[in-house]
Chain A
Amino acid sequence: MTADEVAGTLTDGMTVGIGGWGSRRKPMALVRAILRSPVRDLTVVSYGGPDVGLLCAAGKVAEVVYGFVSLDSIPYDPWFRRARETGAVRAREMDEGMLQCGLRAAAHRLPFLPIRAGLGSDVLAVDPGLRTVRSPYGDEEVLAMPPIPLDVALVHLNRADRYGNGRYLGPDPYFDDLFCLAATRRYLSCESIVDTAELAGLGPPQSLLLNRMMVDGVVETPGGAHFTSCVPDYGRDEHFQRAYAQAAAGDWPAFADRYLAGDEAAYQAAVS
């Protein structure tokens, strides 16, 4: 598939889960394809980084489901900040462990999963739909985290084969497998597509994070996580990330025109 074909499967109002963490191994080529597409009113579920920021900048987002949105080396994403401060998006904000718990409940097709995180905090005040549940085995009251089902999951790994088996080569799988298990349609972008035998030889079996029953489409997008990190293929492009953050506070039209007006090939040419 191509990134634009993935974006073309999205329809207005869908819930889209995005893998990675902060400004790390984000499926940015798929996000950029969404920016170019007509889709809108998305609910975005993410351990948020510039994926959330760019989608907010383009007016694609109705609601964000998140524990944080950060660029890691820059604490706050400027576009998400603006979206929150202008009331442009609804915020379903929760503890980051609750987000994992909700994705897992969806993945396991359960009505809820218990978790202690959230109790006593304003998590329950800002999301009045949340309920607690008393243990049937004792007295303890815990949070009953509801599932966070996804229409679509978008994730980016280092290597994959054309069937949807995928391997990460960096130190952290993040929650990409869980995003895929929680979603109806699952799209994997990768730095390069290799044949299954080569994929098998690239490391131990336990870093084959995704298998083909968890993935519906594979896209080869070299540099597809840019400007977030995709180690060991490349680190975060800190220079470009600073330019992104500064442009959000300055001349955004010039930045968007230079980097986001064309297709993915034009983007990669502009940043190389």
Chain B
Amino acid sequence: MTRAEVCVTACADLFAGDGEILASPMGPVPALGARLARLTTAPDLLLSDGEATLLDPAGTPEGWLPYRAVFDVVAHGRRHVVMGANQLDRYGNQNISGIGPHARPTRALLGFRGAPGNTVNHRTSYWVPRHTPRVFVPAVDVVCGVGHDRDGGPFHDLYRVVTDLAVLDFGGPDRTMRLVSVHPGVTVDDVLAATGFTPHVDEVAVTREPSAAEIALIGDLDPAGERDRAVPG
């Protein structure tokens, strides 16, 4: 069992019970997680090929999903996105736009992309492949994804954050980030040292280990070992 496999199953668990909705995982580890979930706990998930076609688990096209249709699904709400984050704060505000002042950033990043619309329309989780104080900051420089200290409206639904060290949710006071579990081999102190604010800590579990069957499925889904490049060690 590798850390990458623990991260994949933790991402798969994000989708458990989601039913017949569009899973939009950003990045190789959430993408593997979504495909694993569909083979295990969330068989009704819809997944795209990353372009404009929905594929069933056998790789057969089952639908058309160009970007304009994705925007419709965002507004309709039947979607669970797992986004990345260059910065995240304790309320779940996310920044993928740039570091420093927006008018002239010291480091320009992607832009708002779909983060504002995603977060006010449907369930949103985050995946952070390197849990560091540079990502988990006291305050983000630009709010792209909307956090709990802001008015996210009637469909705001921040769910969880999976990192290479831990799983967090928003069960802390004022719906702030709470440490749910640390991955096997990681201590609570490791996570606290890697977080630029103090997440809420009460009863912290150990993230579940993937089963032998899940490890075999992950190997089948990712024969090239992309997961190990995303989460080394």
Contacts and interface: CB of A to CB of B under 8 A. Distances in A.
Interface of A: 21, 47-48, 66-70, 75-76, 80-81, 84-87, 91, 93-98, 100, 115-123, 125-126, 140, 171-175
A75 B108 contact: no
10 tightest CB-CB pairs across the interface, nearest first?
A117-B117, A84-B108, A171-B52, A68-B111, A120-B146, A121-B116, A172-B52, A172-B66, A95-B116, A122-B143
19 contacts: A67-B112, A68-B111, A80-B108, A93-B97, A94-B116, A95-B113, A96-B71, A97-B114, A116-B120, A117-B116, A120-B152, A122-B143, A122-B144, A126-B103, A140-B153, A171-B66, A172-B52, A174-B66, A174-B68
Contacts of B66: 171-174
Nearest to A94: B112
Nearest to A142: B153
A119 B151 contact: yes
A174 B146 CA distance: 26
Interface string B140-160: 001111100011111110000
B102 A91 contact: yes
Contacts of A171: 51-53, 64, 66
B226 to A, nearest CB: 14
B17 interface: no
Contact of B67 (A21, A95, A115, A121): A21
B111 A93 contact: yes
A122 B108 contact: no
Contact of B114 (A48, A95, A116): A95
Contact of B117 (A66, A86, A97): A97
B124 interface: no
Nearest to B146: A120
A123 B108 contact: no
Interface residues of B, number: 43
Nearest to B151: A120
Interface string B106-134: 11111111111101110000000000000
A85 B108 contact: yes
B25 interface: no
Contact of A120 (B51, B106, B107, B150): B150
B231 interface: no
Contact of A68 (B68, B110, B145, B146): B110
A172 B120 CA distance: 26
B80 to A, nearest CB: 17
B219 interface: no
Interface of B: 51-53, 64, 66-68, 71, 74-75, 97-98, 102-117, 119-121, 142-146, 150-156
B109 A76 contact: yes
B76 to A, nearest CB: 11
Nearest to B51: A171
B61 to A, nearest CB: 10
Contacts of A67: 111-114
Given A117-B121, A172-B52, A175-B68, A95 B115 contact: yes
Contacts of B112: 67-68, 93-96, 121, 123
B120 to A, nearest CB: 5
Contact of A85 (B68, B105, B111): B105
B143 A172 contact: no
B108 A68 contact: no
B119 A121 contact: yes
A118 B142 contact: no
A121 B144 contact: yes
Contacts of A173: 66, 68
A172 B71 CA distance: 13
Contacts of B103: 87, 91, 126
Contacts of A21: 67
Contacts of B145: 121
A69 B98 CA distance: 12
Contacts of A91: 102-103
A121 B142 CA distance: 8
Give the interface centre of A69, A123, A175 by most chain B CB atoms within 10 Å: A123
Contacts of B142: 122, 126
Given A118-B117, A123-B116, A125-B102, 17 more contacts: A48-B111, A67-B112, A67-B114, A85-B106, A87-B103, A96-B113, A97-B71, A97-B74, A116-B121, A119-B120, A120-B150, A120-B152, A121-B145, A122-B142, A126-B103, A171-B52, A171-B66
